[in-house]
Amino acid sequence: MTRTPATRPVTVPVTVRGTVLGAGRPKVIVPLTGGTVPALLDQARDVVAAGPDLVEWRVDHLGPGGAAPGDAAPADVVAAGRELRAALGGLPLLVTIRTAAEGGLAAVADADYVAVYRAVLEAGLADLVDVEVMRDEATVRTLVDLAHAAGALVVASNHDFDATPPQEEIVRRLLHMADRGADVLKIAVMPHDPGDVLALLAATWEASGRTERPLITMAMAGTGVASRVAGGAFGSAATFGTVGAASAPGQVELGALRAALAVVHPG
């Protein structure tokens, strides 16, 4: 049981293209998972029409001709990114290479992971980049510096698709992300029972009392849906919802998610 400290730091919100993370109702992030540029742009049109707060581009789903997801070369990613950026208008864009180690499709070495992000950042395509904080420390440092030099924010991330670590460990990982210089701290875990969802929510509440940085947390799959709709009440600044394809188990369709968020966060 975690008690509320007498003085809790207040979350310092971050603003991306007018969208505020860390204040007000949690923001809805919709993932794009197209495997080819035409598929990506089709999906982007539907997503823009649905009006999310932010868009996540899962670059690891892109492959040459859709044949080999995760293997797209930096120049191809940049070319696709330019078209995507134009299709998104002013929507904030989070660029994510989710590696196989954390439940994604990219089986990349650190050098390639950095090369793709470097190209995307230098082309000015990302407002935020997802950096897996468990990767090599020098890689994480390089990416944090590259992102900040390009005027982008870093969303540090960690994913456990097998289990839910204990509350203290979830908090430790989130605070470690802050130590690494991330602007937003994100963790996704796999619950096996409602107690695991409670651990994730308790960790969210505890961590939000120990860092000023906005958090994004979720328990995945059906058991974890409560965390996707009600995580904001415990300190999560955003939640992933779908327009079409999901990028992780348990994501709720955008319209239903917005309705649920309006119930949890009236006014």
Ligand X SMILES: O=C1C[C@@](O)(C(=O)O)C[C@@H](O)[C@@H]1O
Task: List interacting residues with ligand X (CB under 6 A).
Answer: 31, 56, 58, 96, 98, 130, 157, 159, 186, 188, 218, 220, 240, 247-248, 251
CB of 45 to ligand X, least distance (A): 19
- H-assigned helices in the chain: 37-50, 74-88, 110-122, 137-149, 167-179, 194-208, 221-230, 254-264
Pairing of strands 54-58, 153-160: unpaired
Beta bridge partners of 156: 131, 185
CB of 242 to ligand X, least distance (A): 9
Q: Could you tell me if 254 and 243 are in contact, meaning their C-beta atoms sit under 8 angstroms apart? A: yes
Which residues does the annotation mark as catalytic? 159, 186
Cα(190)–Cα(205) distance, integer angstroms: 18
Using the minimum distance from each CB to ligand X, give the nearer residue, 204 or 247.
247
Nearest to 29 by CA among 117, 88, 77, 94: 94
251 known member of a binding site: yes
228 known member of a binding site: yes
Plot region of 78 (φ>0 → left; ψ -120 to 50 → alpha; else → beta): alpha
CB of 241 to ligand X, least distance (A): 9
Cα(135)–Cα(117) distance, integer angstroms: 14
Using the minimum distance from each CB to ligand X, give the nearer residue, 209 or 224.
224
The residue sitting closest to ligand X, measured at its beta carbon, is 248
Using the minimum distance from each CB to ligand X, give the nearer residue, 88 or 188.
188
167 known member of a binding site: no
Using the minimum distance from each CB to ligand X, give the nearer residue, 85 or 98.
98
CB of 3 to ligand X, least distance (A): 29
Instruction: Give 117-123's long-range contacts (Cβ < 8 A, gap of 24+).
Output: 117/143, 117/146, 117/147, 118/74, 118/146, 119/74, 119/75, 119/77, 119/78, 120/59, 120/74, 120/77, 120/78, 120/81, 120/95, 121/146, 121/147, 121/149, 121/150, 121/152, 122/150, 123/78, 123/81, 123/82
98 known member of a binding site: yes
Using the minimum distance from each CB to ligand X, give the nearer residue, 5 or 169.
169
247 known member of a binding site: yes
CB of 146 to ligand X, least distance (A): 19
Binding residues: 56-58, 98, 228, 247, 251
Binding residues for 3-dehydroquinate: 56-58, 98, 228, 247, 251
